[in-house]
Chains A and B, each alone.
Chain A
Amino acid sequence: MKFLLKKLAFFFLLMVGVSVTAFIFSNYALNHAHNTVHSQTFWNESLQYFRFILELFQGHFGVVRHDGSAVLETFLLKLPASLELIIPAILLAWVLGTFLAINAILRPGGHVDSMTQILGDAMNSIPVFWLGLILLMIFATGLELFPVSGRLDYIYEIKPVTGFMLIDTLLSSKSYSGEAFFNALNHLILPVMTLTIIPLSYVNLQLRNGMKEIHNSAYIRAARSRGMSRSRLIWRHSFPNAIKPVLDGMSLQFSVLITSTIIIEYLFSWPGIGHWFLLLIKQQDFLALRGVVILIAVIILIANIATDLLNYLTNPKLRRE
């Protein structure tokens, strides 16, 4: 409980900083764009800032210039599309990374182990946009297995309920809802594949190194000599101990993941937050950007708190303190 309170206090402290930064950014940008001299007094400006904060608490995050829609509304409308990419990518990265790491422990130096090691090293050096393009060229334009862009073919008409296309297609009462579900899944595969590869190589490498180190330690050897089964050895001893450093580095991985999401949404014309953010940057819509930046910061910080909480729950040592 105390842990959570501490994290929440830190969250609010950072959010104050983020809102001040966003405010200064938009003010400076507007002055710069209109060539006006910065002539407002400090008091005037801080008054403006407090008004801005009050509006934020009422849910007014600004208005998008070119269509007049509210920033918060559009953000929430586009968020599911981005989450539909990010959540499967994280889950897949963890599942596959764990599987490959355990495989490396069971068969060290085997074909799969050495292949993943080489590929993991290579994946760290490939820019995401190029990786996405290459996968696009191989699977979409070359083999014609998957569509090139978008979330759903235009022949299907699905009413948005949750915003998640996979759920919406199943909920819809149209006769083609099953067909549309597989169409949406087909659209999802290529961007998710691109997005998975980077966290996958991170999770796999860290877990593998951690578990290898633990497997060489004395207590594992003792447990093994007592005749403990291999699966119990891995799932009770080495895996829970190895995930802590991986979770610690996850917050850095989130920022990599968000950068990759922006690029991948641009590449696959995916109508999510990243695509919208790039559009706002291109249009120099600073007042909308101010709101979007704050909302993005909220998402990042919540994700960080969630990993910290997970770390706390899986680690008895932290809980006892």
Chain B
Amino acid sequence: MSHYIDRFGELKLINPFREFWYRYENHPSALFGLLIFSMIILLFLLSPILAPYDVNHQFKDHIMVPPSWLSGGEINFLLGTDELGRDIFSRLLIGGATTISGAFLAVFMAAIVGISLAIFTTLTGSWLNRITIYIFDVLLTFPILIIALLIISIIGKSLHHSILAISIAMIPHFYKSLSNAISLEINKPYYIAAKLDGASGFTLLFSVLMPNILGAIIIHLSLSLSTAIIEIATLGFLGFGAQSLQPEWGAMIGNARSFIFQAPWSVWVPGIAIFISVLAIHLVSNGIKDSLSKDKY
């Protein structure tokens, strides 16, 4: 937190959010990413209205129609139809809503458990901290996908289960990065001073520690969101996530995989959608990271 002297010669505190936004505003790629990302969110909030057809309606005489700008395409089916004659544009919109809201849900659940565990164990006893660090180190030897697959092998494959599995698999990563950030902060003089001053646990946590680890939390949240999107799509692609009736980007690509000769567009379209949304999230999170590290600008 920094200060400035206004025109009357008084020492004023700079609002950290305004300071952050000032840095963020002058970061063109981050601003571009934010624009794309908010457009994507808006599209998916409006997807039930915008989608022209029912996602599972099969147009029996319009099987594998190419996108409208290719020869043989029809304007009624903007992005073409898939191997069962279903409109890809509608499936893309609704499927995107599924994938992205699933990713938000997975990150949210993992963040709540991981962050509160990290805060609780790092601030209380040392032996508890050591045990949890050990357990999470063991889990961290495996990639997220392997843990998620093992969980799915127990509880069965479906979209909801894949979201739950990814969320559980992401908890150790949240725990690790947060507990690293916290253990760096609690050895700094300002924290020890506040503690010796007799600040209550609540004050210590929310007004002393929180402002200093909020940056780390936000950066990890935004990075995990892109991870979660890719992992949900991967599970869908491998056939362990959303099943055929439920439109989801990865599952759409997985179903289209057998028809790459006849209908290559049904592979291209959802893939480009994943690419654009993950890229937008990466740009935003890079912007946040640059804006929060004060020495960069």
The range of chain A's interface size is: 35 or more
Q: Report if B275 contacts A (CB, 8 A).
A: yes
Q: Please state if A21 and B143 are interface contacts (CB–CB under 8 Å).
A: no
| Known A-B contacts A18-B138, A266-B238; A281 and B143 likewise in contact (beta carbons under 8 Å) | no
Give complex CA distance A214, B2 in Å.
Answer: 31
In-complex Cβ contact of A255 among B137, B142, B230 (8 A): B142
Whether A300 touches B153, Cβ cut-off 8 Å, given contacts A137-B267, A141-B260, is: no
A72 within 8 A of B: no
Complex Cα distance A296/B145, Å? 13
Interface residue B51 (Cβ < 8 Å from any Cβ of A): no
Identify which of residues 42-75 in chain B touch chain A, using a CB-to-CB cut-off of 8 Å. Answer: none
Known: A129-B234, A141-B261. A281 touches B267 (CB 8 A): no
| Chain A residues in 8 Å Cβ range of B282 | 121, 124-125
Q: Are the C-beta atoms of B146 and A296 separated by less than 8 Å?
A: yes
Q: How far is the CA of A125 from the CA of B285 in the complex (A)?
A: 13
Q: A134 contacts the other chain (Cβ, under 8 Å)? A: yes
CB–CB A289/B253 < 8 A: no
> Is there contact, CB below 8 Å, between A281 and B274?
no
Contact of B275 among A28, A32, A130, A289 (CB under 8 A): A130
* Number of inter-chain CB pairs below 8 Å: 111
What chain A residues lie within 8 Å of B233 (beta carbons)? 127, 129
Which chain A residues lie closer than 8 Å to B274 at the CB level? 126-127, 130
Q: Does A25 count as interface, using CB distance less than 8 angstroms?
A: yes
* A–B complex contacts, Cβ < 8 Å, 6 sampled: A17-B134, A32-B154, A125-B226, A129-B250, A137-B267, A289-B153
Binding site for B on A (CB under 8 A): 13-14, 17-18, 21, 25, 28-29, 32-33, 121-122, 124-130, 133-134, 136-137, 141, 255-256, 258-259, 262-263, 266, 277-278, 281, 284, 286, 289, 293, 296-297, 300-301
Binding site for A on B (CB under 8 A): 134-135, 137-139, 141-146, 149-150, 152-155, 226, 230, 233-234, 237-238, 240, 250, 253, 257, 260-261, 264, 267-268, 271, 274-275, 278-279, 282
